[in-house]
């Protein structure tokens, strides 16, 4: 691993003296279950909270942020297929650490303690192949942390022209999760924000294969 990589966006913390992910100034950043936690904060705080749990409980110190876009999650190597000053659909500057198609990642098997994909799998050409690739690089007992737009709540999931797939919790279970015996679900669909649903799965020690049924 390149030691010069600055994980996540943590290099900007120099502009915020005293900030600490573990002790934020406002609890709304990490209490994703709070009723007054608006959608964007709730989604991101679920991701940050899940990462911190892995850091504290299992000693992991680096993960991967899939399709990171303009914001790379803390303690993560950001990967996106686009890098540049103006995204053709969303605008804004994208500066991932590594530029790769997220269906095929440049890492060995069982390499990371956690992988994050926040509003990413719906952009994948083949979400089953992408899911398989993401769990490939997670070590046994590591976690995959997802936030996914919820197709039950229209038109929130249809405005984005780059969404190739639309999932509800039920269809995600049927089309993705049921195809893998590698992952044990620990958190699923508890955001209740009428916009997105969440998933945290832990990789079992014995790796499974995609079920073709």
Q: Give residue-wise pLDDT tens across range 173-205.
A: 999 999 999 999 999 998 877 788 999 999 997
Query: For residue 100, what are the domain limits?
Result: 10-203
C-alpha 49/C-alpha 191 separation (Å) is 13
Please name which of 96, 126, 11 lies closest in space to residue 134, comparing C-alpha atoms. 126
Task: Identify whether 77 is part of a domain.
Answer: yes
**Mean pLDDT of all residues belonging to the chain:** 81
Task: Identify whether 2 is part of a domain.
Answer: no
pLDDT in tens, the chain (213 residues): 454 556 666 655 555 566 565 555 555 444 555 555 555 677 888 898 899 888 888 877 789 999 988 888 889 999 998 887 777 777 777 888 999 999 999 999 999 999 999 999 999 999 999 999 999 999 999 999 999 999 888 665 566 778 889 999 999 999 999 999 999 999 999 887 778 899 999 999 765 555 654
C-alpha 2/C-alpha 98 separation (Å) is 11
Please name which of 101, 113, 109 lies closest in space to residue 66, comparing C-alpha atoms. 101
Task: Identify whether 144 is part of a domain.
Answer: yes
Task: Identify whether 172 is part of a domain.
Answer: yes
Helix, strand, coil percent values for the chain (each to nearest 5): 25, 25, 50
pLDDT value for 147: 95
pTM for this prediction: 0.83
Q: What is the CATH number of the domain that holds 138?
A: 3.40.50.150
Count structural domains, the chain. 1
Task: Identify whether 141 is part of a domain.
Answer: yes
Task: Identify whether 45 is part of a domain.
Answer: yes
Task: Identify whether 213 is part of a domain.
Answer: no
What are the pLDDT digits (tens) for 79-104? 998 887 777 777 777 888 999 999 99
Task: Identify whether 123 is part of a domain.
Answer: yes
């Amino acid at each position: 691993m390149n030691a010069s990589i600055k994980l996540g966006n943590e290099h900007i913390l120099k502009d915020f003296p005293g900030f600490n992910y573990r002790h934020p100034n406002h609890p709304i950043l990490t209490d994703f279950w709070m009723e007054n936690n608006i959608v964007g904060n709730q989604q991101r705080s679920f991701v940050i909270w899940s990462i911190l749990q892995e850091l504290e409980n299992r000693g992991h110190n680096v993960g991967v942020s899939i399709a990171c876009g303009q914001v790379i999650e803390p303690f993560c190597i950001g990967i996106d297929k686009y890098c540049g000053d103006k995204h053709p659909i969303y605008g804004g500057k994208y500066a991932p650490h590594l530029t790769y198609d997220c269906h095929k990642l440049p890492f060995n098997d069982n390499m990371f303690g956690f992988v994050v994909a926040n509003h990413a799998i719906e952009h994948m050409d083949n979400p089953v192949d992408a899911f398989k690739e993401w769990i490939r690089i997670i070590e046994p007992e590591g976690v995959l942390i997802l936030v996914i737009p919820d197709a039950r709540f229209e038109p929130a999931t249809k405005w984005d022209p780059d969404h190739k797939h639309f999932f509800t919790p039920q269809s995600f279970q049927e089309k993705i999760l049921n195809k893998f015996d590698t992952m044990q679900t620990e958190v699923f669909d508890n955001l209740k924000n009428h916009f997105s649903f969440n998933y945290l799965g832990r990789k079992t020690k014995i790796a499974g294969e995609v079920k073709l049924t």
